[in-house]
Amino acid sequence: MKISENYILREIAGEYIVVPTGSAAMDFKGLITLNDTGVFLWKLLQEDDQTKESLLDALCEEYEAVREEAKADIEEFLQRIRSEGMLIE
């Protein structure tokens, strides 16, 4: 899975905001801000095709997170961006 090229991440006044581009700018209504964990996952999904397992491994390594908690956080994040059409699977 990977982030759609129709969305980019921008830092504005210390906040990370997902900005729609191209045709997504016409369809997407609203605003999505990301915390540090969301930014980390977003960047991984922008760089390479990822699996839930690869995201989990990277998140646990970066933040020394408890695996089960990290797994739940990843599921919630993926569901959120999937529901907005930002995720290509």
HSE value, Cβ hemisphere, 13 Å, CA-based, for 83: 9
What are 21-79's pLDDT values in tens digits? 888 888 877 789 999 999 999 999 999 899 999 999 999 999 999 999 999 999 999 99
H or E segment to which residue 23 belongs: helix 23-27
- Domain around 30: 2-88
Give the CATH number, domain containing residue 81: 1.10.10.1150
Into how many domains does the chain fold?
1
pTM of the model: 0.91
